[in-house]
Amino acid sequence: MSSSEPPNVSADAEVETAARNLAADLAQFWQDRLGDSLLGVYLIGSLAHGGFNRRYSDIDVALLTEEGLSESLIAACRDEAARLAPDLAPKLSLFWADRGFTKGRFPPLDRLDYLDRAVILAERERVVPPRPTLSEVRAYLSGRPFTAWAERAAHFAALDRLEPADHKPYLRSQLYPARFVFSWRTGDVASNDVAVASVGADPPVGLDPGPIERAMAVRLAAADPDELFGDRGRLPGQVAACRTLMLL
């Protein structure tokens, strides 16, 4: 499929429905396993704020409990997902925290998504953590997220060809500057289409919207990103532009 083809809305909707059903089944799994220690289970990410794509989107589920989760319970959840929907289970991305958000995996941007857009799957008590500030969001973005993206960008820029296993991380590397710039400027999180439109209308100095917009077209079409391979050499420049933005 070429990115010039229109998005297959019905195919996206079919997979989105299956993803929502899997998340609902996992919410019941957690209710059965955790009982009163479960505070809530929620959809976040593209299943909550829109833009779900059958090929490139994750199934983002947020889980809040009184004391957090053990590794064995996380493994049990993944095993249950694989039993329920083997084709969708690899897409599951689990965010979790205890009541006080003192432990777990729940970065600031995902916390914002939870506060503003979460879709309830199960809830005994709504827990409201402190809202991450712009300074906190920027401190987070300038740490491991930026470093990891810069490393991936350098890796992809040096490749001679894309392997099938590279397709999703390569496309995300091309799209990431839009998400980064949007969150850096606003202290908020948005869907890919909103972030891409925002950076296209007002790109930071040195950032080229072209590769980002082409990557978005490939994502919408759920196509292979091989046609974007010629843009790999632009990635270091995108990293440099975002690094400059952080210094302003």
Q: Is residue 3 pLDDT above 70, yes or no? A: no
Of 198, 189, 154, which Cα lies nearest the Cα of 173? 154
Q: Which amino acid is at 34?
A: L
Residue 215's pLDDT is 98
Structural contact between residues 178 and 212, judged by C-beta atoms closer than 8 angstroms? yes
Give the separation between CA 192 and CA 215, rounded to whole angstroms.
Answer: 10
Give the separation between CA 26 and CA 41, rounded to whole angstroms.
Answer: 9
Task: Say which residues have a Cβ less than 8 Å from residue 95's Cβ, sequence separation at least 6.
Answer: 44, 60, 61, 62, 63, 104, 105, 106, 107, 110, 114
pLDDT digits (tens, 9 = 90+) for 175-205: 999 999 999 999 999 999 999 999 999 999 9
Structural contact between residues 212 and 172, judged by C-beta atoms closer than 8 angstroms? no
Residue 10's pLDDT is 86
pLDDT digits (tens, 9 = 90+) for 225-240: 999 999 999 999 999 9
Helix (H) or strand (E) holding 38: strand 38-43
Give the separation between CA 88 and CA 84, rounded to whole angstroms.
Answer: 9
Domains in the chain: boundaries: 9-123, 134-247
Cβ neighbours, 10 Å, residue 149: 21
Residue 132 tokens read as 């991450």
Q: Is residue 173 pLDDT above 50, yes or no? A: yes
Please say whether the structural domain 9-123 has been given the CATH code 3.30.460.10. yes
Task: Say which residues have a Cβ less than 8 Å from residue 244's Cβ, sequence separation at least 6.
Answer: 204, 205, 206
Residue written as tokens 């689990």? Answer: 94
119 strand-pairing partners? 43
pLDDT digits (tens, 9 = 90+) for 23-72: 999 999 999 999 999 999 999 999 998 899 999 999 999 999 999 999 99
- Mean pLDDT over 69-98 rounds to 97
State the pairing for strand pair 104-105/92-97.
antiparallel
Give the separation between CA 96 and CA 65, rounded to whole angstroms.
Answer: 8
pLDDT digits (tens, 9 = 90+) for 120-151: 999 999 999 999 999 999 999 999 999 999 99
pLDDT digits (tens, 9 = 90+) for 88-128: 999 999 999 999 999 999 999 999 999 999 999 999 999 99
Could you tell me the CA-to-CA distances from 153 to 143, 146, 149 in Å, in that order? 16, 10, 6
On average, the pLDDT of the chain sits at 96
Could you tell me the CA-to-CA distances from 173 to 80, 84, 151, 179, 185 in Å, in that order? 30, 30, 10, 10, 19
Please give the model's pTM, rounded to 2 decimal places. Answer: 0.93
Could you tell me the CA-to-CA distances from 217 to 6, 55, 192 in Å, in that order? 9, 13, 11
